[in-house]
Structure 1
Amino acid sequence: MTAVQSSTSRAIPGPDDLTPRSLVSVRPAVSSRRLLDDLVPPPHFDDARFSTYRANPEHPSQARVLSRLEEVAAEIVAPAPSGLRALLGRRRPAPAVYMDGGFGVGKTHLLTSLAHAVTEASGEGSAAYGTFVEYTNLVGALGFLPTVDALAGRQLVCIDEFELDDPGDTVLMSRLLRELADRGVALAATSNTLPDALGEGRFAAEDFLREIQALAERFEVLRVDGEDYRHRAVVTDAEPLPLESVRAAVEARPRAALDDFADLLAHLSTVHPSRYGALLDDVEMVALTGVRPVTRQEVALRLVVLIDRLYDRDVPVLLADVDAAAQRALFTDEMLRGGYRKKYFRALSRLGSLAQEGRRLATD
């Protein structure tokens, strides 16, 4: 397949051009090659290693999971048996682990640490890392069998934020993981339990094992307890910034983007979610004005994907002219109780963190 180079229609402002760039002006084109190349831990977790994970002594499960994943990494990179031993011995199934727990307890840090450990031991391209949505988008771009072939050469495939709320995509991912496991690829996944869910942890693990069906016996469930270190339930606990301050912060940074919230949401409907990462190429800050509650589910789900890509890339967000209702709740109560609630709570937690960082940069 011939790779099409990634491109955008963005005009980069020159030194005399004071018009801030806008995400709405970007029309990204992403090759299938880039979709594969982007299956690496995001920049936000460049420094994540087992040695930098700080297990909370109040939650012993964190230390237990850390120790187990270090063992899993060693299993994955261990040399395969050779000679007579290989002929006589039974092939040991590749490890498959699933981390279950609430928001902000360090599961992604642990998952990226596992990916980094395998890569550092076995070389670039030995581990694939992506979110559930990125893998389903990859299948949509390449087709199922080419995706299996492309990933089968990896020692490890990591799936962050495994979704249990879309039956079609979950069956697709279950089939993909089964094909990879049959080819000897190690698997690692995370998912979230709602912070206020009855029987937190137990139901998420049971749901995951049920949905992956034939693979359930291969997965080892690792429970990660703890509290959300971001502690965010709304867009941000801080007051929104004055519009003048936001404009000044954007104009001081040539790689910052300024957009009206409604315009950006409309633009996202014209861009495939697999290209949202490319939408942020060369962007170091995103400023949004006119933030209002999101009331349509399809619009909210696109916003969730964008927030994930912003968080992955550590792009701070500036918020100005925020509607009072949005300050209290960006998503409706119905959304936060519905089937996609895990995505919305994750997005709120991440956006709150990015908005706090944006405010800090703008007011320093």
Structure 2
Amino acid sequence: MHTEHLVERNPRVSGHELLDGFRPSERFGEVSFDTYRPDPSQPSQAEAVEKLKAFAAGVGGGQSSGNGFFSKLFGGGGGQKGTSAQGIYLDGGFGVGKTHLLASLWHAVPGPKAFGTFVEYTNLVGALTFRHTVEALKDYKLVCIDEFELDDPGDTVLMSRLMRELADAGVKLAATSNTLPGSLGEGRFAAQDFQREIQVLSSQFDVVRIDGEDYRHRGLPEAPQPLADDAALEAAAEQAFSGKTVAIDDFDALVEHLSRVHPSRYRALIEGLDAIVWRGVRTIDQQAVALRFVVLADRLYDKDLPILSTGVPFDQVFTEEMMAGGYQKKYYRAVSRLTALAREGGEAA
């Protein structure tokens, strides 16, 4: 077993390298509509597949030459009334396969196209500037936005402007979220003060509801408890990850290190690893730290990196107040994904 430490990594990623990475992660690198397994007891899942296939067939129909959806919305252009929305929006709970379906849509249509999480697009704007991001994406046929969230007013206005310009350029948009578009921002900031921007985001999507239970835990036993001590952790890691590259870190040092690495670089931070080992996982009690950790959890899940740990179980890594607050859906998603990775680590050990 070759060991490394995330706290010793400080990757540098250019804006163009970020753009090149806007494609489904390894976990969803070869999925398709045919590999999605709808739950027979949830007819909305099979219906979502058919709606997405129909949407895919309409992608790549050419530029709108200024008569796009947003031009009509704001009174510009000469298009006819009743034009269908420029995008499709998958709404549902955790683990119903929304990302699988979004990645399947991406694979099903011709390029150029982009696939990334909401936070990756905001990070791209920060790296390239808004105007260069628009220029980079405006000739794409499809832009997929996974885990759509509006966490602050700045993101609301930013994504409203970005999607307005992309849609007016004829780009088709597809998104997933655990929140209906009209409810984005609730509980995080004074959403009523930004109702126009939120309404712009909401109106452009045809909403497809997907019901069901979290497939990551469907019919499976509870996640394994963390190991008892460091000696047990080292023995389990040697057994489970022999011949692999593993990052071993103290949890406190790791979360402190995340404050010095921009979230846009978390994908590069874990590049080349096969597994994760954390000593002394504890409950995070600061919101800013917790939100950074959520991004890391998402990237670990993207790469399907099994986790072994000591300390508290992952359903206790966020405080009760956080799990009940405005960002609760982010935290529940992270707990679901970390639990799945801990289960993989436990099975390997």
Q: Taking structure 2 as the reference length, what is the TM-score of the superposition?
A: 0.85
Map 1:97-112 → 2, pairs under 5 A = 97-112=88-103
The equivalent residue for 1:315 is: 305
For residues 37 and 57 of structure 2, the distance between their equivalents in structure 1, rounded to whole angstroms, comes to 20
Please, which moves more after superposition, 207-216 or 294-303? Answer: 207-216
The equivalent residue for 2:42 is: 59
Q: Taking structure 1 as the reference length, what is the TM-score of the superposition?
A: 0.81
Matched, 1:38 2:21: yes
- Residue 212 of structure 1: how far off its partner (Å): 3.5
- Residue 287 of structure 1: how far off its partner (Å): 0.7
The answer to whether the 8 Å contact 2:85/2:206 transfers is no
The answer to whether the 8 Å contact 1:240/1:322 transfers is yes
For residues 62 and 247 of structure 1, the distance between their equivalents in structure 2, rounded to whole angstroms, comes to 38
The answer to whether the 8 Å contact 2:240/2:345 transfers is no
The equivalent residue for 1:190 is: 176
The equivalent residue for 1:277 is: 267
For residues 170 and 245 of structure 1, the distance between their equivalents in structure 2, rounded to whole angstroms, comes to 47
For residues 315 and 126 of structure 2, the distance between their equivalents in structure 1, rounded to whole angstroms, comes to 36
CA spacing shift, 1:102–1:137, aligned 2, 3 Å: same
For residues 304 and 241 of structure 2, the distance between their equivalents in structure 1, rounded to whole angstroms, comes to 19
Deviations 1:303-351 (A, max 9, x none): 11101011111111111x213xx46511001101111111100000000
The equivalent residue for 1:338 is: 325
Map 1:158-173 → 2, pairs under 5 A = 158-173=144-159
CA spacing shift, 1:328–1:304, aligned 2, 3 Å: closer
* Percent of aligned positions that are identical: 54
Deviations 1:14-55 (A, max 9, x none): xxxx87211111110001111101110111111210111111
1:354 counterpart (329, 341, 346):
341
- The unaligned stretches of length 5 or more in structure 1 are 1-17, 82-88, 194-203
For residues 32 and 277 of structure 1, the distance between their equivalents in structure 2, rounded to whole angstroms, comes to 14
CA spacing shift, 1:26–1:113, aligned 2, 3 Å: same
In structure 2, give the amino acid aligned to 1:322: G
For residues 109 and 139 of structure 1, the distance between their equivalents in structure 2, rounded to whole angstroms, comes to 25
In structure 2, give the amino acid aligned to 1:343: K
For residues 314 and 272 of structure 2, the distance between their equivalents in structure 1, rounded to whole angstroms, comes to 29
The equivalent residue for 1:201 is: none
The answer to whether the 8 Å contact 1:148/1:179 transfers is yes
Map 1:15-164 → 2, pairs under 5 A = 20-78=3-61, 95-118=86-109, 122-123=110-111, 126-164=112-150
The answer to whether the 8 Å contact 2:85/2:205 transfers is no
Runs of 4+ in 1 over 4 A off after TM superposition: 78-81, 89-94, 208-211
For residues 93 and 64 of structure 1, the distance between their equivalents in structure 2, rounded to whole angstroms, comes to 19
The equivalent residue for 1:252 is: 242
CA spacing shift, 1:254–1:238, aligned 2, 3 Å: closer
For residues 170 and 30 of structure 1, the distance between their equivalents in structure 2, rounded to whole angstroms, comes to 25
For residues 93 and 168 of structure 1, the distance between their equivalents in structure 2, rounded to whole angstroms, comes to 28
The answer to whether the 8 Å contact 1:250/1:257 transfers is no
- The unaligned stretches of length 5 or more in structure 2 are 65-77, 186-194
For residues 328 and 130 of structure 1, the distance between their equivalents in structure 2, rounded to whole angstroms, comes to 26
Matched, 1:293 2:293: no
The equivalent residue for 2:210 is: 224
The answer to whether the 8 Å contact 1:132/1:160 transfers is yes
The equivalent residue for 1:197 is: none
Deviations 1:277-309 (A, max 9, x none): 110111111111111111111111111110101
- Residue 174 of structure 1: how far off its partner (Å): 1.4
The answer to whether the 8 Å contact 1:230/1:353 transfers is yes
The answer to whether the 8 Å contact 1:76/1:95 transfers is no
Deviations 1:236-281 (A, max 9, x none): 6212232232442477234111111111111111101100111011
* Root mean square deviation, CA, Å: 2.3
